[in-house]
């Protein structure tokens, strides 16, 4: 079933590594919420919706009243499944008990807490506005507020942290009442403060060897604690996978509302203008504020392979042939022969990446995609 994503681009401070669209100015929050509501009213109806996701930015900067208004607009416009997963991303410093308890009462049933680290020195380096104690309190408050489905975010590959420090952080997070963990290697994106600092030699570049070691420890510790490694950067207790993000990886259609939000129908992708002021004005004037791309069969093939190789289940060969034809399945197998057999496994007509292959996922994926349409295809 399709999902709905609502982008809340407001932040108190821009993190050193963040490449998502966000603004460090909250003056227009209320106007922005009204604009998003207008966008939902004008959207094409979907079949039954099974996920609603408030992402950002920092969605927890919204008042409970604003979140409730957005939810009401969605329920008014769309057929929402009774078992819908409703997630909000939250920064630890906003996770006060009363706020979280009220969120739970209005229907939010999953919370994703952006911890990143429990180490204050690392948090300061990353540009985070919370402390390690704040992070621990946030999880405790969420649990006491009635959230059973709690996710935590961590970042590894940070030069300030030793391997033993990383092990300690993992022990801490797995000792908490979390059911889901998203862990990402620190990456250097253009137009970020991290990129600028590295370019100016004000901080060290990413140590790939360190990141690889920490990734291996992460996978081992997660497995030891009963967490399923169901996507490259995501781990969960069985039955607590992120339904919303799984929709992305499964190629399920979704609608995105808000500045810079993306939507996907299966054969088209569109994205809203990445500018809060212009986004609000276009909604007030009933003007379009998005661009759209028609996805060719080749684009769709590439996207399917790219996303599915990230998951535990991998590429479903039957689906690949049904969706893209026998020639593309043959092409996929032809390219697969160029990759060492230790990096993938074929089981029940599905191709998935092995633990040995995971660190080389980008290299493997590149071999299986194509950018030039040949006569063969």
pLDDT by residue (tens digit) across 116-127? 999 999 999 999
- The torsion defined by the Cα of 286, 291, 294 and 299, in degrees rounded to 10, comes to -150
How are beta strands 149-156 and 110-116 bridged, if at all? parallel
Intervals of CATH 3.20.20.70 along the chain = 3-249
Tokens 């405790």 belong to 140
pLDDT by residue (tens digit) across 77-110? 999 999 999 999 999 999 999 999 999 999 999 9
pLDDT by residue (tens digit) across 297-330? 999 999 999 999 999 999 999 999 999 999 999 9
Q: Which CATH architecture has domain 297-368?
A: Orthogonal Bundle (1.10)
Mean pLDDT of 155-181: 97
Give all strands of the β-sheet with 268-272 in edge-to-edge order: 228-231, 234-236, 180-185, 149-156, 110-116, 80-90, 49-56, 3-8, 254-257, 262-264, 268-272, 290-294
- Spatial contact of 83 and 50, defined as CB atoms under 8 Å apart: yes
Q: Provide CB contacts within 8 A for 150, sequence distance 6+.
A: 110, 111, 113, 139, 142, 143, 176, 177, 178, 179, 180
Across-strand partners of 156?
Answer: 185
Intervals of CATH 1.10.10 along the chain = 297-368
Tokens of 285: 């004037």
pLDDT by residue (tens digit) across 242-277? 999 999 999 999 999 999 999 999 899 999 999 999
Alpha-helix residue ranges (DSSP H) falling in 225-265: 243-249
Q: Is this model's pTM higher than 0.85 or not?
A: yes
Q: In this model, does residue 26 exceed pLDDT 60? A: yes
Alpha-helix residue ranges (DSSP H) falling in the chain: 29-41, 64-77, 97-105, 120-126, 132-144, 163-174, 193-199, 208-224, 243-249, 276-284, 297-308, 317-324, 326-336, 361-368
Q: Tell me how far the alpha carbon of residue 267 is from its chain's centroid.
A: 21
Mean pLDDT of 61-85: 96
Q: In this model, does residue 375 exceed pLDDT 60? A: no
3-249 — its CATH code? Answer: 3.20.20.70
Whole-angstrom distance, CA of residue 278 vs CA of residue 199: 32
pLDDT by residue (tens digit) across 341-370? 999 999 999 999 999 999 999 999 999 997
Q: In this model, does residue 47 exceed pLDDT 90? A: no
């Amino acid at each position: 079933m399709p999902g709905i994503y609502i982008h809340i681009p407001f932040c108190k401070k821009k993190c050193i590594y963040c490449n998502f669209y966000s603004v460090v100015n909250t003056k227009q929050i209320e106007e922005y919420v009204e604009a998003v509501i207008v966008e939902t009213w004008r959207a094409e109806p979907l079949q039954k919706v099974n996920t609603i996701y408030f992402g950002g930015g920092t969605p927890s900067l919204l008042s409970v009243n604003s979140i409730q208004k957005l939810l009401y607009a969605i329920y008014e416009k769309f057929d929402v499944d009774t078992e819908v997963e409703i997630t909000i991303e939250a920064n630890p410093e906003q996770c006060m008990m009363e706020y979280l308890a009220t969120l739970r009462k209005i229907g939010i049933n999953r919370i994703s807490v952006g911890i990143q680290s429990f180490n204050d020195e690392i948090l300061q380096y990353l540009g985070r506005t919370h402390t390690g104690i704040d992070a621990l309190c946030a999880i405790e408050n969420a649990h006491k507020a009635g959230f059973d489905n709690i996710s935590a975010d961590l970042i590894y590959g940070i030069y300030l942290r030793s391997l033993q420090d990383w092990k300690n952080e993992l022990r801490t997070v797995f000792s908490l009442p979390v059911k889901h963990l998203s862990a990402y290697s620190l990456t250097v994106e253009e137009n970020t403060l991290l990129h600028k600092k590295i370019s100016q030699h004000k901080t060290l570049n990413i140590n790939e060897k360190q990141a690889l070691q920490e990734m291996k420890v992460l996978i081992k510790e997660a497995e030891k604690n009963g967490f399923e490694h169901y996507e490259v950067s995501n781990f969960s207790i069985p039955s607590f996978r992120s339904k919303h993000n799984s929709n992305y990886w499964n190629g399920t259609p979704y609608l995105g509302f808000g500045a810079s939000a993306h939507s996907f129908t299966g054969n088209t992708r569109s994205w809203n203008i990445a500018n809060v002021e212009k986004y609000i004005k276009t909604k007030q004037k009933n003007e379009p504020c998005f661009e759209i791309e028609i996805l060719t069969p080749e684009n769709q093939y590439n996207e399917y392979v790219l996303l599915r190789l990230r998951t535990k289940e991998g590429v479903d060969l039957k689906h690949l042939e049904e969706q893209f034809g026998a020639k593309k399945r043959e092409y996929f197998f032809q390219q697969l022969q160029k990759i060492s057999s230790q990096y993938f496994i074929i089981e029940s007509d599905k191709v998935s990446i092995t633990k040995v292959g995971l660190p080389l996922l980008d290299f493997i994926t590149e071999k299986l995609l194509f950018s030039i349409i040949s006569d063969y295809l």
